Amino acid sequence: MRKTTVFLSVLLLAAAIVLTTTSARRAANFRLLYWNIQNGMWDGQPDNYDRFVAWVKAQRPDVCVWCEASTIFKDGTDDYLPDEDHYLPAHWNELARRYGHKYVFLGGWRDDYPQVITSRYPIEEVARITGNADTLVCHGAGWARLRVHGKTLNIVTLHTWPQAYGFKVPKEDRERSRAAREGDYYRRTEMEYICSHTIATVPDAADQYWMMMGDFNSRSRVDNWVYHYPEEDSRLLVHDYINSNTPYLDIVHERHPNDFYTTTGGRARIDYVYCTKPLLNCVVEDRIVSDEYTTPVRNPQNISNFWHPSDHRPILVDFNL
């Protein structure tokens, strides 16, 4: 009798979890998909992006934000393609329509690593950000707006400098620069520039719907219980700036403060989706996706540290707007 009671209790608990999850998904009416797709989804070039498109379609996103949204290399190699043979970003309209999006916004673009927004909803282009003579935003950034269920949603995309040495440091000086962690300070400068030209330009932004996402190439102090860096470690500068100077909140941390989720093929959370408090209150579900397709696998030929399908994992966030 006791075993039967326990068994029934487990069944009821499982059913309750399923119903709760199903109800939460039904309550969501807007889905964001963010992913750094490594060299314009280099892994997807040989099959004409068929697996990539099928996976994206299965997620049913309303808006996608892609980092590294440019084709760079020949199929299966690290040999550079001639500029005229780059399929992306010129053909994002064509590729996005295959998974149901007809609106595309290309952010500030000054090298081979732009960000692109695709959407079911019309996109208002606010700013393409590349920096100025004093601060160059190495991979550019973008600011766009959507109207979703009667709400105005601001989306800021970015991808900061990836190296430990500083931006444009000559090869012969990189060891010194790397030892001085000049790359960390450069990322901090980029972040201040991006924020000061987007959310900081709107006085009441904290009360609006804003999100900022991308490959930050930096660690957050909220995860330092995993990294164990010194308190004043420069690798924490970027997110210290965001947390001290903007109204943005880290969705994954706010909703899972006691958990750690890597966004790479290793053990590092360097991709983030931030949002303001009103938008955080609309989050129904969020997750860093590690499924059969998205879990990074190192290229067996060890080609330029490439992974399949990408060296990053995607992030899905469901909102009820």
Q: Is residue 2 scored above 70 in pLDDT?
A: no
How far is Cα 135 from Cα 214, in angstroms, rounded to an integer? Answer: 19
Copy the structure tokens of residue 206.
Answer: 């904290």
Q: Is residue 83 scored above 80 in pLDDT?
A: yes
Segment among 18-27, 99-108, 220-229, 243-252 with least mean pLDDT: 18-27
Q: How confident is the model at residue 21 (pLDDT cuts 50, 70, 90)?
A: very low
CB atoms within 10 A of CB 82: 7
Q: How confident is the model at residue 215 (pLDDT cuts 50, 70, 90)?
A: very high
Per the prediction, the chain carries an average pLDDT of 93
Instruction: Please state, for a pLDDT cut of 70, what percent of the chain lies above it.
Output: 92
Of 67, 48, 17, nearest to 273 by C-alpha is 67
| Rounded average pLDDT over 188-213 | 98
Of 318, 320, 319, 314, nearest to 34 by C-alpha is 314
Of 39, 48, 140, nearest to 81 by C-alpha is 39
174 or 133, which is more confident?
A: 174
pLDDT at residue 89, as a whole number: 97
Q: Is residue 113 scored above 80 in pLDDT?
A: yes
Strands 209-215 and 151-159 turn out to be parallel
The architecture of the domain spanning 2-319 is 4-Layer Sandwich (3.60)
3-state secondary structure the chain: CHHHHHHHHHHHHHHHHHHHHHHHHHHCCEEEEEEECHHHHHHHCCCCCHHHHHHHHHHCCCEEEEECCCCCECCCCCCECCHHHCCCCCCHHHHHHHCCCCEEEECCCCCCCCEEEEECCCEEEEEEEEECCCCEEEEEEEEEEEEECCEEEEEEEEECCCCCCCCCCCHHHHHHHHHCCHHHHHHHHHHHHHHHCCHHHCCCHHHCEEEEEEECCCCCHHHHHHHCCCCCCHHHHHHHHHHHHCCCEEHHHHHCCCCCCCCECCCCCCEEEEECHHHHCCEEEEEECCCCCCCCEECCCCCCCCEECCCECCEEEEECC
Q: How confident is the model at residue 123 (pLDDT cuts 50, 70, 90)?
A: very high
Q: Is residue 318 scored above 50 in pLDDT?
A: yes
Segment among 16-25, 179-188, 280-289 with least mean pLDDT: 16-25
| Rounded average pLDDT over 1-11 | 42
Q: How confident is the model at residue 26 (pLDDT cuts 50, 70, 90)?
A: low
Q: How confident is the model at residue 90 (pLDDT cuts 50, 70, 90)?
A: very high
Give the tens place of pLDDT for each residue, 299-314. 999 899 999 999 999 9
pLDDT at residue 25, as a whole number: 52
The count of C-alpha atoms lying within 13 angstroms of the C-alpha of 206, restricted to the half-sphere facing its C-beta, is: 5
**Which residue in this structure is represented by tokens 């931030």?**
274
| Rounded average pLDDT over 122-136 | 96
pLDDT at residue 302, as a whole number: 87
The phi, psi pair for 139, rounded to 5°, reads -105, 10
How far is Cα 212 from Cα 17, in angstroms, rounded to an integer? Answer: 31
Q: How confident is the model at residue 6 (pLDDT cuts 50, 70, 90)?
A: very low
CB 220, CB 269: distance < 8 Å: yes
Segment among 25-34, 38-47, 50-59, 60-69 with least mean pLDDT: 25-34
How far is Cα 79 from Cα 73, in angstroms, rounded to an integer? Answer: 5
| Rounded average pLDDT over 53-75 | 98
| Rounded average pLDDT over 22-34 | 77
